[in-house]
Structure 1
Amino acid sequence: MVNPVKTLEQTSLDSIGHSFQEAFKDYPSRWDRHELETLLNRRGFKPELSFGIFEENEMVSFILNGIGMFNGLKTAYDSGTGTLQKYQGRGYASQILRHAVLVLQEHGIQQYLLEVLKDNEPAIALYRKMGFTISREFNYFRQDKEYITRSASSSEFRVAEIGIPDAEVVKPFWDFQPSWQNHFDALTRPLSGTFLGFGAFKDQSLVGYCIIDIASGDLSQIAVHRDFRRKGAGSSLLNTTLEHNQYPSLKVVNTEVHCTSITGFMKSRNIQLQAKQLEMICKL
């Protein structure tokens, strides 16, 4: 008998969290209940458009979808697809994904977006089979605060808290567009209020900025205007984030692999590369 696919509207966060932790127990990152709740909220989680397969009241396979706009299109974002280890090989992920695509199309979703570890070949093969194509490749960096190399802050720049800045103001600083979970829509969704934004100023002009979740240590964005790079603005911003970060480590997720400036900056500060991810998109 084929197990039916169900929405997650009636599934508790504790049940989702249990299955999520079990499915991703070999993943480089771990999440407690609060971190998972923040993660899902940040990614626009919609339980009515998320799906699972259950056996004996346990969710054994799932897709957790967020909904929002990305590149001007109404988008579903796969915040996590997983199957508990002892249930793998039964085709549950394929079954849920096919079901999800049909339902999302019925709700006017125009594209399906996800990220997958580059070395997860079975998942990549499944997504390709379902029509997903690779759009970008990302790096994931992490380091314990005590091992991060700190350079002296530059007296040329003044760093001040600025909140979440206007995207149009800081876009000229970017070398690449932030991923779904780091975009401004995502950073203004969380209810915890633990995101802080800092700006680096030359005289009265904003020349760089960063945004960090001080509860999770997630440095979501950091960028400096090209005319002021390698002059200490980035170091001043990083030093400020480390002073405010309440988490024991700093994480920098989803920087484009082709962005040599951010990769070089991470390397110079001993913030180590942990993994690589692929961003994949399927037009619906």
Structure 2
Amino acid sequence: MRTIPLAHQQTLTLALPAILMGIINVTPDSFSDGGLWQQAESAVAQGVRLAGEGAAILDIGGESTRPGSSPVDADEEIRRIVPVIQGLRRATSLPLSVDTMKAKVARAALEAGAAVVNDVWGFQFDPDIAQVAADYGAACVLMHNRRDIDPAADMIAEVKDFWARSIDLALRAGVRPEQILLDPGFGFGKTPEQNLQLVHHLPELMSLNCPILLGVSRKSTIGRITRQAVAAERIPGTLAAGLYGVQQGAAVLRVHDVAAHRQALQVWQAIADVSLPP
């Protein structure tokens, strides 16, 4: 087991086979659950439900990052997420993560009680966000991203190079090495084939010695494979991709459907713990 120090004297314990990060999108336009948790009260209730289902951390986002989504300014993002973070801090003891790429939003979220900054641009969008994370002693999730899809790109090499730059930015700002998690960015600026390659080759991405967070939940690549256009109907495919990722070394799964993943991981662990009789 490995423990990652977070802000506000909290810790995240990475236990085998993986821990679960529950998703709370406080947005009208997220690809799977946009509009479901727009009101702070309903978002807090959803967070409490995910905690009861077995989430070890909750990730709150106020801006959709799906392809074609409309940008949200920092003040609106803060208006959406801060009441939810404050409500969840009162309602649950779980550590909270803010899903943002803006320093101003990260600062407001950390002030409100978040302990992790989950940046879909790996600290390479807003030059001030790494320093904000460091100032508050927050852990960080550094995700790979790219603006354009290039089917010819060597995605393994590119993700490694991108992460190396992100880690350097984090360390230079003062984030502690043991507070860094890495996300290969499944579904962000990649072809479906490249997404699958990243999951298959996760062991090659672990050379930077940081835990891997994998976010495959309900993504369009799964829909393409299964011919399932409705995101909420992609749970079985999500479970398959997530469990394969855990087998390849992922330490954290960022998911919409915590209960289903917890059950799958419980069965995995039970089988793994079985020993032959003497």
Q: What is the TM-score normalised by the length of structure 1?
A: 0.31
* Higher strand residue share: 1
Q: Which has the larger radius of gyration?
A: 1
**Normalized per residue, which structure has more helix?**
2
